[in-house]
Chain A
Amino acid sequence: MTPWIPFMPERASTFAWRVDALYFYLLGVTIVFSVLIAGLIFYFAVRYRRRVPDEIPEPIEGSLKLEVAWTVIPFLLASSMFVWGASVYFSQYRVPSDVMELYVVGKQWMWKFQHIEGQREINELHVPVGRKVKLTLASEDVIHSFFVPAFRIKHDVVPGRFSTIWFEATKTGQYHLFCAEYCGTNHSGMIGWIHVMEPADYENWLSGGAAEGSMASIGEKIFQDLGCITCHRSDTQGRGPVLAGLFGKQQLLQNGETILADENYLRESILNPRAKVVQGFQPIMPTFQGQVSEEQVLQLIAYIRSIGSLPETEQPLPGAPPSAPSPSGRRTRLQTAPKNR
């Protein structure tokens, strides 16, 4: 249990103390300087108040020593703030590898969540305590911002790309989720709750829903419905690259560059296929912009990730779910060597 301090938000993640410690350091330094300046001003204003209406005090030139002192000392203190702040920031934005993955879509004016196993939620998110959770954030329309004060995390959800953020909850309970970037009329209604549960309760909760199957299996259905399968065949004879085993690999592009086939690349290739064409293929794929929602893009990617990802090729994947049970996600029938490395 952490001590309750009035007018402070709860501390419910591993970041909370790190951010608060830095905050208290800043508070300490700035209070000392504010009191010093305010005290000096008040003292001088009283001590040297005008006593005779037309008095002229002796002029004082200035002092190089003082100027150097009050340039260098604040600079050193500011540098310490910079270094400390940067180290906290760095750890917040560097996602560790052993994470559980969750997917978030912001749209005017609601938060939609998908668990790998298929559960979907709106404005409520259930997570286990003591487990690192990585969120992949997408926006259906404008810029939103995912903000959980008790976790001290915030990240803009920018349309046209995926963003990622992670946290590890340390305390069960329910915590505010806010949209922090102004997103239109009902911006202040785009709020929800994060429910942090004991792992066992979370497992219980997980087994309760998911009528439609895992994200990957929904993705597979979309893959077939949209006819992706006609070009992206499982053998090397298709007009498009083989997708099995592609996720997390470097792809050689037409212009000779290589790119890592991560979530952002797959997203771009679905919505704007001609931007980065794999070498050896024609830019013939039509765009699916407007035909698939951000959620469906996430499901398609979950499917692509699931095919052909043998346990041994799983290692280099950033943040593959180590223990998330996704039985339908482990497919073997489409395992074919990719045409291009």
Chain B
Amino acid sequence: MSTAAAEVEAGSNYINVSYGVKSWLLTLDHKRIALLYLASVTLFFFLGGAYAILIRLELMTPAGDLVQAHTYNKMFTLHGVIMVFFFLIPAIPAVLGNFLVPIMIGAKDLAFPRLNLASWYIYMLGALFTLYVVLRGGVDTGWTFYTPYSSAFSNTYVIVTGLGIFITGFSSILTGLNFIVTIHTMRAPGMTWFRLPLFIWSHYATSIIMVLGTPVLAITLVLLILERTIHIGIFDPTLGGDPILFQHLFWFYSHPAVYIMVLPAMGVTSELVANMSRKSIFGYRFVAFASIAIAVFGFLVWGHHMFVTGQSVYAGMIFSFLSYAVAIPSAVKVFNWTATLYRGSVSWQTPMLYALGFIGLFTIGGMTGLFLAALGVDIHVTDTYFVVAHFHYIMVGGTLMGYLGGLHFWWPKITGRMYPEAWARFAALVVFVGFNLTFFPQFVLGYMGMPRRYHAYPEEFQVLNVMSSAGASILGVGLLIPMAYLIWSMRYGRPAGPNPWMAAGLEWQTSSPPPPENFHVTPVVREEAYTFRKT
């Protein structure tokens, strides 16, 4: 411990190797770029969260009395746009992935450090477009931009928002490309494919979706912008277009995008479950291939967003069946994580609390996906709060839990210092309770028939809405606590040492924080992933 403490104080690491704003803004170190992303996505997370709080305040009462309908519509649109494109999609890959992918495979950096820095600047440029929209008066199409409302009716900043997302998409593509090339070409000697940590497998699967899916979103947004500006008539029925075509194109990216959000969180969970119970992941190869299966099947299920649009009944059946097929690899992962705990040494420290929370909440999110994939039930619950609850269980219960768990687990590696354990456990509990109180009532509301995106609603829905709003305030507090103690710990936290968890993995064999080149000597891998030994 004392040598590690000395290293935090004196040794050269990626944080203290150079000083000054320029040394950060022009850095090519993947670890510093990860921290740039950390700051940016945190900012956007709290901005998107502020909209969520306003939405829940409005929905405390049946009447639309806090803000006007037009304002409300802009709030849920910006909540969705910011959370999806500027938090959920980049959060784990661009922060934890950027930091960990090279270290976990024993490399000095990503394959293309300059592209990596460029991806952050591209993200920030897209973010500036979005901030411009926020300041100038917003956009009211919903994050889904359905035509012809977005192309011919909305009088808000659709084009600027679309451009912001279009630009940000390229940062995703570059990150995905960088990961794929890095994982293929820069593994340390002895680091075979089946010795890779599952975090790497899931990021590899994610990268495939980023590289193949994001261009389709870009094309869709360009078509939408052309439709709005020069009326090319591809989506607008009065010009001979087809509004449903937009939905096909949009969901062809945006359904796989759900897996961009959740696959990395699954990777984090695999690491946490293995390391915090000191057990090799049960069925390593099944979990690894499940990630690839999800990435591939994820591209074939977009039509399940459109069961009530009037697409052919038979197309509906095919999409329904494939949606059930894509659920199977996710279920396999859940079973394997559970089995990993068997006869393990299960820690109850914060990262594990988040990991177990992830499994539980992702299970509920996934199970309710089975309701939505059932054609007959989907007719009733689609476009209601049931869907809202379902995807928040996946994205908040899944992605956010994974992100927070990962952030706590690797915080000692990133900063060299421990977070305060008692506070962190308390916050994890508050987040878990607040989350469930916020979103579980929404399943019930949805089945009762409350449509989503409603500014005002009939009185019989009020009790459940008040519960949901109460939960949201608890969740909000639960998310501010980590913000406070993590910042505190950067200065006052206990020095962590290279491996505070007795965890396996190359990242724990180097110092905390790691030196700029990650390892003083290139490591040679001689054993399977998750081989634990006393340190």
Q: Which residues of A contact B (CB under 8 A)?
A: 7-9, 18-19, 22-23, 26, 29-30, 33-34, 37-38, 40-41, 44-45, 48-51, 54-63, 66-67, 70-71, 74-75, 78-79, 81-82, 84-90, 92-94, 108, 141-143, 145, 147, 149-150, 152-156, 158-161, 163, 176, 178-189, 191, 272, 289-290
B359 and chain A: residue at smallest CB distance: A41
Min distance, Cβ A45 to any Cβ of chain B, angstroms: 5
Chain B residues near A161: list those with CB within 8 A. 237, 310
Known: A85-B374, A179-B451, A188-B453. 7 other contacts (CB 8 A): A8-B447, A41-B359, A81-B373, A89-B316, A153-B379, A158-B243, A182-B452
B332 touches A163 (CB 8 A): no
Could you tell me the distance in whole angstroms from the C-beta of B37 to the nearest C-beta in chain A? 31
A187 touches B146 (CB 8 A): no
- With a cutoff of 8 Å between Cβ atoms, the chain B residues found around residue A48 in the complex are 277, 341-346
> Does B488 sit at the interface, judged by CB under 8 A?
no
Compute how far the CA of A48 lies from the CA of B348 in the bound complex, rounded to whole angstroms. Answer: 11
**Closest chain A residue to B316, Cβ basis:** A89
Query: Beyond A85-B378, A143-B146, is A66–B339 a contact (Cβ under 8 Å)?
Result: yes
CB neighbours of A160 from chain B (8 A): 237-238, 241-243
Q: Is B38 an interface residue (CB 8 A)?
A: no
A122 to B331, CA, bound (A): 48
Contact of B451 among A26, A88, A156, A180 (CB under 8 A): A180
Write the chain B residue with the least CB distance to A183: B149
- Highest count of chain B CB atoms <10 Å: which of A82, A141, A145, A163: A82
8 closest cross-chain pairs (CB), A and B = A160-B237, A88-B376, A149-B449, A85-B374, A89-B375, A44-B341, A188-B454, A78-B324
Interface check B175, CB cutoff 8 A: no
> Which B residues from 321 to 356 make CB contacts under 8 A with A?
321, 324-325, 327-328, 331-332, 334-336, 338-339, 341-348, 356
Is B382 an interface position by the 8 A CB rule?
yes
User: A154 to B331, alpha carbons, bound, how many Å?
Assistant: 30
Closest CB in chain B relative to A54 CB, distance in Å: 5
Instruction: Give bound CA distance, A88 to B456, whole Å.
Output: 31
| Contact pick for B308, options A41, A56, A156, CB 8 Å | A156
Task: A93 to B314: give the CA distance in the assembly, Å.
Answer: 11
**Which residue of chain B is the closest to A93 with respect to CB atoms?**
B313
Q: Which residue of A lies closest to B142 (CB)?
A: A182
Contacts from B to A (Cβ < 8 Å)? 64, 69-70, 73, 140, 142, 146, 148-149, 153-154, 237-238, 240-244, 277-280, 282-286, 307-310, 313, 316-317, 320-321, 324-325, 327-328, 331-332, 334-336, 338-339, 341-348, 356, 359-360, 363-364, 367-368, 370-371, 373-380, 382-384, 444, 447-449, 451-458, 464, 502, 530-534
CA distance A66 to B338 in the complex (A): 12
| B residues in contact with A289, CB < 8 Å | 238
A161 → chain B closest CB, angstroms: 7
B342 touches A44 (CB 8 A): yes
Give the docked Cα–Cα distance between A184 and B73 (Å): 8
A255 CB, min distance to chain B CBs, angstroms: 17
Contacts of A189 in B (CB 8 A): 69, 456
Among A7, A45, A153, A181, which residue has its beta carbon within 8 angstroms of that of B383? Answer: A181
Check B368–A85 contact: CB distance below 8 A: no
Q: Would you call B384 and A143 a contact (CB within 8 A)?
A: no
List 9 contacting pairs A-B, 8 Å CB cutoff, sorted by A. A34-B363, A37-B334, A62-B285, A81-B324, A88-B377, A89-B379, A183-B149, A185-B69, A272-B240
A22-B376, A88-B375, A152-B380 as given contacts; A70 in contact with B345, CB under 8 Å: no
Bound CA span A8–B347, Å: 41
Is B341 a contact partner of A45 (Cβ separation < 8 A)? yes
**Contact residues in B for A272 (Cβ distance below 8 Å):** 240
Question: In whole Å, how far is B452's beta carbon from the nearest beta carbon of chain A?
Answer: 8
Would you call B69 and A186 a contact (CB within 8 A)?
yes
Residues of B within 8 A of A87 (CB): 376
A34–B360 alpha-carbon span in the complex (Å): 8
Given the known inter-chain contacts A9-B447, A70-B335, A85-B374, please indicate yes or no for A185 contacting B379, CB distance below 8 A.
no
Q: Is the CB of B363 within 8 A of A158?
A: no
Nearest B residue to A94 by beta-carbon distance?
Answer: B313
Contacts of B148 in A (CB 8 A): 141-143, 159
Decide: B383 and A147 in contact? CB cutoff 8 A: yes
> What B residues does A45 contact at CB under 8 A?
341, 346, 348, 356
Q: Which residues of B contact A163 (CB under 8 A)?
A: 310
On whether the beta carbons of B149 and A185 are closer than 8 Å, the reply is: no
Q: CA of A26 to CA of B325 in the docked complex: distance in angstroms?
A: 16
CA distance A150 to B447 in the complex (A): 10
Asked, given contacts A62-B283, A81-B324, A181-B383, whether A57 binds B331 with beta carbons under 8 Å apart, the answer is no
